[in-house]
Structure 1
């Protein structure tokens, strides 16, 4: 029975392994590209939002603060 085992389970073909390795490398490459693009978009959004918040804070500091008058005693 054990002598029939090599005929039941065929060994993998070298061409299949090579093409699968190429597919896996290509897939990993595109995943890396996608991840980097997402990070770049997030960083751009973050910097734009931070700049808007800085400008809003600058405007708020320049406005008249009415509540300060009520808090004085």
Structure 2
């Protein structure tokens, strides 16, 4: 009889690799925020700058939450 765990096996990343990928993503998020702020300073009311800032903040928040959940 086949075990259900074998059928629905979902591979997961090791904790160290996951944290490295999250740190890289957080760095990319910071880069987007800095790019957005510089662009916003140079060109007022820039839609691209606003999108970069918001997207960067969302990336950082989501990865910090993922790291916190993974550490618990």
Task: Identify the TM-score tier after normalising by the shorter chain.
Answer: 0.3 to 0.5
Task: Choose between structure 1 and 2 for higher RCO, CA contacts under 8 A separated by at least 6 residues.
Answer: 2
More helix per residue: 1
